[in-house]
Amino acid sequence: MPSAAGRLHYPQDRIHQMKKILLLGGTGFVGSRLCDRLVETGSRVIVWGHNFPPIRDPAVEYVTGSLDNVNLLGSLLPECSHVFHLASATTPGSSRLEPGIEVVNNTLPMVRLLAVMQEFPDIHLIFASSGGAIYGSPSKGMVQEQDPLEPISYYGAGKVAAEAFLNAYHKQTGNGVTILRPSNLYGPGQRPKAHFGIIPTLFDCVMTGKTFEIWGDGEVIRDYLFIEDFVELCRRTISRASDHRVLSVFNAGSGKGYSINQLCDSVRKITDQTLKTAYRPSRGIDVSRIVLDSCAAQRAFDWEASTSLEDGLARTWARLNR
């Protein structure tokens, strides 16, 4: 990481010549769909990630490397007007017993990125946090951005730490930052992971005949947001962010809560197939209820989730069976 005395310096007059958008973690579930949407709307995109598609879009520049590579970052940033930080190397389950994973794999790369971006005051940074993990188990029905951050998992704590660094970065530099706190994202293209991504895991169990394990009694409440709705919000942040060097925080959810038991019933109805379930003891890292109030995003961007859970599940299932 460069020190204050030995920071890397880059030509400021190149920053807006090409007006590209850099997607860190651009080959993941959110990043790949956001890339498609941005290209569709005429943006020039740089995708930083791994496991690139076999057929690459000629309108996209693909870059691979660690976020620790500050020289590579510094060579790309002069061409960019916005940076989306979508990269995450953990899940609530993967760091459950190893909090250090959050620090090494997520927090340190974030800090190194901020050290480089200090030199680029006109670049707006947009960070994908987690509305489902950072608030803990709030007692109120709908959670707003100003409510206390009380994560009960190391994963959630890592997101809170990242937001704290972003706040400090903004206060020290005045550089623009937008923090988006999505609820549980799902949709076509999402792959099942161990202990993460409940909807692709449910469909995988339907297709393979595996038993879906429910941690607890299945009555925990979650807010599920369709990927296309979240990508649209990401797209809308660009026009607003380019005009304001401020720090803003926005929840992004459907505003409706569903229990895991209700979700299982919906999957059975949509697929018209058997879904076997088994109840296990609670893991202790799952919040009991989280439903997000997204009125701030609606006011700022004229945005709201437009896809019902039933429609989103049906579209996801249809894509799996094409």
Instruction: Render 170-190 in DSSP notation, one character per residue.
Output: HHHH---EEEEEE-EEE-TTP
Q: How many domains does the chain have?
A: 1
> At what angle are helices 198-208 and 260-271 packed, to 10 degrees?
40
3-class DSSP assignment, residue 86: coil
Q: What is the pLDDT of residue 236?
A: 95
In a domain, 275, yes or no: no
Q: What is the pLDDT of residue 244?
A: 66
Low-confidence ranges of the chain (pLDDT < 70): 1-18, 194-195, 241-244
In a domain, 317, yes or no: no
Containing H/E element for 265? Answer: helix 260-271
In a domain, 167, yes or no: yes
Q: What is the pLDDT of residue 212?
A: 95
In a domain, 277, yes or no: no
3-class DSSP assignment, residue 138: coil
Q: What is the pLDDT of residue 14?
A: 38
Entry pTM: 0.91
In a domain, 217, yes or no: no
> Which range of residues forms the domain containing residue 163?
13-186+226-252
Q: Note whether 48 and 65 are within 8 A (CB).
A: yes
In a domain, 17, yes or no: yes
CATH number of the domain within which 176 lies: 3.40.50.720
In a domain, 306, yes or no: no
Q: What is the pLDDT of residue 91?
A: 82
In a domain, 314, yes or no: no
With the CA atoms of 144, 145, 150 and 151 taken in that order, what torsion angle do they form, in degrees rounded to the nearest 10? Answer: 100
